[in-house]
Structure 1
Amino acid sequence: MKIAQVTPLYEAVPPKLYGGTERVVAHLTDALVDLGHEVTLFASADAETRARLIPVRDQAIRLDPRPLKSDLAAHMTLLATVLEHADDFDLIHFHTDMIHFPFFAGMADKTITTLHGRLDLEDLAEVYERWTEFGLVSISDDQRRPMPFANWLATVHHGMPAELYEFSPRSQGYLAFLGRISPEKRPDRAIQIATALGRPLKIAAKIDAADTVYWETVIQPMIAGNPLVEFVGEISDQQKSAFLGGAEALLFPIDWPEPFGLVMIEAMACGTPVVAFRCGSTPEVIEDGVTGYLVETLDQAVTATERAHLLDRDAIRARFELRFSATAMARRYLDVYGDLLARRPFADLPRTAPPSRRTVDELRTFASIGG
């Protein structure tokens, strides 16, 4: 099968540091290649992939040091480039939310779109009610709740390469928080849990500009006066095995409808149990009492964290390999691809015509003026 993967341009593929969507696309793309498919990745030039790469920007946007950038223009150029090559593929897999809908409506039957973010935002529903011809994939069943009417084809949970994470049979006794410093991720809860137990906590997290005030007014003061807490900052994939594998438990104390939560399966790959608040996708990812604990209050979280060491780390790793490996994810997507292709009337309709030169030129012109 000839498959195109179209990723956002905000992070490298895979990301150099923090990043979710582009990391998933990287692992899916490589797994599809390993399964024998002809895959083309549309991404920034700093991507590392076993697929054919068509670069559409010299580097990913977030870590680009140049001060003046237009992410809209970059993504319009991305779509124009995909349009130019669209006739080369049996299927185009978009990971770019809904931005491609107006330009690919004429060939929606050869696309699927995985939605990676939260869907309870104002104005989203109207878009998915308008462009119903695009088949959608959710990354958890819970993610669908704000839009049950949408054209859902399947839910495919994320997966990671098993060989990327080293299993750790025992911890070094500290607790871990990995993610973003933001109100919805609730690092304050992680600090409270560790403090209540008198256990060391290591925080490896990204601080976005939008969350600087929260960091400076809430989290930094909690860390500054607490000898149990160490702030590590952002870490790379290469650092995660040691960071997560050394933890007695990963604290995932979220307070928002998390669509998936990659860090949970990253911890599981290292054999580390997860203590997660029952919110968003966590009940779909964590098997309570097997790979971690699901809690609803801070007191429950403290109790669960105290007994996390009783869980079998070998069993946690085994559940990761069964449910959340990159190969398992790729095979589930291949089922979706096959169902989509089976519904396309190959015998009755000519192959989708390539986009008109005018359409591509209009996209490129729009990109050149930054929208």
Structure 2
Amino acid sequence: MERVFASLVQGLLRWGVRVTVFAHPESFNDRLTDSPTHRLTDSPTHRLTDSPTHRLTDSPTERLLVQVPTYAPVGRLHPQAAEMRHTQVAARFISDVGTFDIIHDHTRLGAVDFAALDVPAVTTAHYDPTRDPMRWAREVAAGHPYVALSNAQMRSAPDVNWTGVIPNGIDQSFYRPGEDRFGYLVHIAALGPRKGTDLAIRIARAAGRQLVVIGSADRADPEGFAREVEPLLGDEHVTWLDEQSGDAKLPWLQGAAALLHPIRWDEPFGLVYVEALACGVPVLTLNRGAAPELVQHGVTGVVADQWTDLIDAARDPHRWSPQACRASVSHLTDDAMVEAYLNLYEQLIDRGTRPKPIPRQRRASLPISP
């Protein structure tokens, strides 16, 4: 999600949009900014556009990085509580400044705070909208608009106020085929049963292939990692590299015979699929979530119903054309993603779209008898 967010900010700046980013200072890196960050209290007001027609591209490029504290005075906040503090600080700043045209939220709980503001807001559903805590936010901020990452995600929650589907895009000049491909398989994920890491190891073992595993324990299920995955990482056919930066991960992805990703959950998108296919690497996965939308079964890899059905494909992953793999995701670029969001912003601004707050409950004028 962080890579997608950085690409979106950079793309908006290229289009000449004024962008204010609310994040913890440690979130910023050289890819997002080369200028010093500004303190919250020192930040001037910024608008996406001063044009009455709300043409975002008429705005001169300008960026503001607002450092949002995500710590508590005493003790340490739970991650969800930290996110609530983050969105509260952002909402208060937006309300005080009063000159923003639109809010683009990428959190699970931000809709609760942004629903009360007189500014159009939209949330990209990077998480499962049917599960807590995102489900709580949808119940409180009824009618808040969301962007889906795939048709599968939109179908999974038909009661959500979806504005449409905008897939995540990537920089395809960075993710490109390498000069050589080798015989190993690669598994890149937050390691755990949910991502099928244990299944990937068993499939590679059965297929007689070496498996390169890139990632750290799934923070959503550390017990599952310790129980189901960690004991298998010492197998002789497994090379575990832990979490890697994009630059360090790329050569391993480019040199792989296939990406092995036998997921056990309905993943809303699967950015690693797009990255692999753009590198000309086929994908072997299970029929869950958005996988069938990204992988063309029999053309750019395999979408199987059972994990054992991936063993034969893992034995002979070179049957799929690297050119076909890359061509299948040629439309999923960061530029296309940015342009789609720009069009959505303009639609929401022109309509003055706001969340529909839940009506206040009447207070009794007399004490209620026991």
2:158 counterpart of 1:158: no
Deviation at residue 132 of structure 1 after TM alignment:
3.2
Amino acid at match of 1:306: R
- CA separation of 1:210/1:97 partners in 2, compared to 1, >3 Å: closer, same or farther? closer
Give the structure 1 partner of residue 255 of structure 2. 246
2:20 counterpart of 1:40: yes
Q: May I ask how many residue pairs the two structures share in their alignment?
A: 317
Deviation at residue 341 of structure 1 after TM alignment:
2.5
Give the structure 2 partner of residue 256 of structure 1. 265
On the 8 A contact 1:177/1:252 being kept in 2, the answer is yes
Alignment of 1:14-53 (within 5 A): 21-46=1-26, 47-48=28-29, 49=32, 52-53=63-64
2:361 counterpart of 1:331: no
On the 8 A contact 2:188/2:272 being kept in 1, the answer is yes
TM-superposition CA deviations, 1:24-46 (whole Å, max 9, x none): 11111111222332222222224
Give the structure 2 partner of residue 275 of structure 1. 284
Q: In 1, Cα distance between the equivalents of 2:226 and 2:348?
A: 49
2:95 counterpart of 1:83: yes
Give the structure 1 partner of residue 146 of structure 2. 136
TM-superposition CA deviations, 1:114-137 (whole Å, max 9, x none): 111012325755642553342211
- CA separation of 1:44/1:164 partners in 2, compared to 1, >3 Å: closer, same or farther? farther
2:209 counterpart of 1:229: no
TM-score normalised by length of structure 2: 0.78
Amino acid at match of 1:80: R
SS at match of 1:203: strand
Give the structure 1 partner of residue 300 of structure 2. 291
On the 8 A contact 1:79/1:100 being kept in 2, the answer is no
Q: In 2, Cα distance between the equivalents of 1:107 and 1:284?
A: 36
Unaligned runs of 5+ in 2: 34-61, 355-370
Give the structure 2 partner of residue 185 of structure 1. 195
2:342 counterpart of 1:318: no
SS at match of 1:107: coil
Match of 2:318 among 303, 309, 316: 309
TM-superposition CA deviations, 1:225-268 (whole Å, max 9, x none): x2111111011111121111111000110000101111111112
Deviation at residue 205 of structure 1 after TM alignment:
1.2
On the 8 A contact 2:127/2:134 being kept in 1, the answer is no
Q: In 2, Cα distance between the equivalents of 1:307 and 1:216?
A: 31
Q: In 2, Cα distance between the equivalents of 1:316 and 1:209?
A: 31
TM-superposition CA deviations, 1:301-336 (whole Å, max 9, x none): 11222332121212322333x221101111121222
68-77 or 288-297, larger mean C-alpha shift: 68-77
On the 8 A contact 1:56/1:78 being kept in 2, the answer is no
TM-score normalised by length of structure 1: 0.77
Amino acid at match of 1:184: R
Amino acid at match of 2:138: Y
Amino acid at match of 1:77: V
Q: In 1, Cα distance between the equivalents of 2:129 and 2:220?
A: 20
- CA separation of 1:67/1:164 partners in 2, compared to 1, >3 Å: closer, same or farther? farther
On the 8 A contact 1:176/1:244 being kept in 2, the answer is yes
Give the structure 2 partner of residue 195 of structure 1. 205
Q: In 2, Cα distance between the equivalents of 1:130 and 1:41?
A: 25
Amino acid at match of 1:154: G
- Greater gyration radius: 2
Q: In 2, Cα distance between the equivalents of 1:179 and 1:67?
A: 31
